[in-house]
């Protein structure tokens, strides 16, 4: 069996890779298990030295890795470069802070000494998506490896080059042979890996359907999971928002990564009092974004990652229009090569339409009118998802009151939702469970062990 890497901007095959055989998977798991046995005893200072080496590898090869991402999944090249930079930051952050984040915690009890310690679990399976092909992996791997674990990566099948490149970063940075390994396999092979006794836990970033499958099989094997799944993030515009700035940021929030981001704003909930002023500004901001060759430095919106994904997005748009939504911009598949889709704006969107109920994974914005602040919160929470949200207002106290009521793992006020190594990241409801990054993320794949001494 083989796996192909296809350029979504042209439809051309970049390279064909041989799928990892069952015999090779067995060798990977044996090697990784042996590497973990050594790595778990390695001092933090040594782990940190290797992780800083990984950061330097990323910086040194920044141009090559950015180009690889752009060719394999269509990310605009400037955004791809920024993604490599962010991966290096995560490596540096956890190299510097892991030891303190995992330090023993004394507890006062009736013992002469009692404390909590954090021990690594073993080899963690990472099932990762194509949309941020480097960042999604490094935000798992940097804390997990610094905690003393090993990792096996099953990456999305359309970014095999990225998967192998990431493995080479850790290998060339001096980590033990096999501590972090890539296997090129299809989704159907994941359940077998989860069942293997050498895999102790799994993390997945992807769709809620994929998350349910992984959670089901991990549950049967009594193995821990962390799931970061889909989102339909609300972007709430209140009457006192600076509309010009907010409209510009709305376009940025919707079109990041050509709209292919779990935390990209998708439902733009605007209070009635300013909806008629906000919508034309939003249309013009979306219209002004340059769509084109993702390797061109002035391109702001590239192709969708695959033609089938683009076509599925278009069906969501058409179905929403049939149900009463109104198209103000875009919404038509362009002629020519590639999986391109234009920035699209739908208004008069309401519950029961795909643009409201489902995750629209592409450059499609849905505007929903709210009567007032309370109605905006109701609409924001009327979703099966709960990943991120943003509130736009000049009243900070009001925004903080709303943040307490919004059902999501992340709330940003007057800023675009983003992940940051210093802050916990993850969702609720069908957006998943568990946290990545910060002290919460690095403690997901450890044994939180109580020690009591008489």
- Per-residue tens of pLDDT for the chain, all 454 residues: 799 999 999 999 999 999 999 999 999 999 999 999 999 999 999 999 999 999 999 999 999 999 999 999 999 999 999 999 999 999 999 999 999 999 999 999 999 999 999 999 999 999 999 999 999 999 999 999 999 999 999 999 999 999 999 999 999 999 999 999 999 999 999 999 999 999 999 999 999 999 999 999 999 999 999 999 999 999 999 999 999 999 999 999 999 999 999 999 999 999 999 999 999 999 999 999 999 999 999 999 999 999 999 999 999 999 999 999 999 999 999 999 999 999 999 999 999 999 999 999 999 999 999 999 999 999 999 999 999 999 999 999 999 999 999 999 999 999 999 999 999 999 999 999 999 999 999 999 999 999 999 9
Q: What angle do CA 395, 401, 407 make, to 5 degrees?
A: 125
Q: Which has the closest alpha carbon to 421: 93, 131, 101, 48?
A: 93
Q: How far apart are CA 448 and CA 454, in angstroms?
A: 20
Would you state the structure tokens that stand for residue 274, as one six-digit string?
């300013």
pTM of the model: 0.97
Pairing verdict, β 113-120 and 2-6: unpaired
Pairing verdict, β 410-413 and 388-392: parallel
Would you state the structure tokens that stand for residue 444, as one six-digit string?
């997901």
Q: Which domains does the chain have, with CATH numbers?
A: 2-229+431-453 (3.40.605.10), 233-413 (3.40.309.10)
384: number of Cβ within 10 Å:
13
Q: What is the pLDDT of residue 217?
A: 98
Q: What is the pLDDT of residue 58?
A: 98
Tell the residue number behind the tokens 């021990």, with chain if given: 119
Q: What residues are annotated to the active site?
A: 228, 262
Pairing verdict, β 233-237 and 265-271: parallel
CB contact at 8 A, 123 and 149 = yes
Q: What is the pLDDT of residue 81?
A: 98
**Residues 6+ positions from 414 with CB-CB distance below 8 Å:** 390, 391, 392, 393, 399
Q: What is the pLDDT of residue 1?
A: 79
Phi, psi (5° rounding) for residue 398?
Answer: -65, -45
Would you state the structure tokens that stand for residue 132, as one six-digit string?
């941020």
Say what the alpha-carbon torsion angle 281, 282, 288, 290 is, to the nearest 10 degrees.
170
DSSP assignments along 200-254, one per residue: EEEEEES-HHHHHHHHHHHHHTT-EEEEE----EEEEE-TTS-HHHHHHHHHHHH
């Amino acid at each position: 069996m083989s796996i192909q890497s296809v350029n979504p901007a042209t439809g051309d095959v970049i390279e064909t890779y041989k799928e990892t055989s069952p015999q090779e998977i067995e060798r990977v798991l044996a090697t990784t298990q042996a590497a973990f046995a050594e790595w778990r005893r390695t001092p933090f200072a040594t782990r940190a030295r290797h992780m800083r080496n990984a950061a330097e590898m990323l910086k040194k090869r920044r141009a090559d890795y950015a180009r690889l991402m752009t060719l394999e999944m269509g990310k605009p090249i400037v955004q791809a470069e920024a993604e490599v930079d962010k991966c290096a930051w995560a490596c540096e952050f956890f190299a510097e802070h892991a030891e303190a984040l995992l330090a023993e915690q004394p507890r006062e009890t009736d013992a002469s000494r009692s404390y909590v310690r954090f021990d690594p679990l073993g080899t963690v399976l990472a099932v990762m998506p194509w949309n941020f092909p480097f960042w999604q992996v490094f935000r798992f791997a940097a804390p997990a490896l610094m905690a003393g674990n090993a990792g096996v990566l099953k990456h999305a099948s359309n970014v095999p080059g990225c998967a192998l490149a990431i493995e080479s970063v850790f290998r060339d940075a001096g980590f033990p042979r096999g501590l972090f390994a890539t296997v090129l396999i299809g989704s159907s092979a994941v359940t077998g890996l989860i069942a293997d006794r050498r895999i102790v836990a799994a993390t997945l970033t992807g769709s809620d359907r994929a998350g349910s499958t992984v959670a089901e099989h991990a549950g049967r094997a009594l193995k821990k999971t962390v799931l970061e799944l889909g989102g339909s993030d609300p972007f709430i515009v209140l009457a006192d928002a600076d509309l010009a700035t907010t409209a510009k940021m709305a376009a940025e929030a919707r079109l990041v990564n050509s709209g292919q981001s779990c935390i990209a704003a998708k439902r733009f909930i605007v209070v009635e009092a300013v909806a008629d002023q906000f919508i034309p500004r939003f249309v013009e901001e979306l219209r002004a974004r340059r769509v084109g060759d993702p390797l061109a430095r002035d391109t702001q919106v590239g192709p969708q990652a695959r033609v089938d994904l683009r076509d599925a997005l278009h069906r969501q748009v058409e179905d929403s229009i049939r149900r009463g939504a109104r198209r103000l911009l875009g919404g038509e598949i362009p002629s020519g090569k590639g999986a391109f889709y234009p920035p699209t704006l739908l208004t008069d969107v309401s519950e029961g339409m795909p643009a409201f109920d489902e995750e629209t994974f592409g450059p499609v914005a849905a505007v929903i009118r709210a009567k007032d602040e309370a109605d905006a919160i109701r609409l924001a929470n009327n979703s099966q998802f709960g990943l991120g949200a943003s509130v736009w207002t000049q009243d900070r106290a009001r925004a903080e009151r709303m943040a307490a009521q919004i059902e999501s793992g992340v709330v940003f006020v007057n800023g675009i939702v983003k992940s940051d190594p210093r802050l916990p990241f993850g969702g609720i409801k069908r957006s998943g469970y568990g946290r990545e990054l910060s002290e919460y993320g690095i403690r997901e794949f450890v044994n939180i062990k109580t020690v009591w001494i008489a």
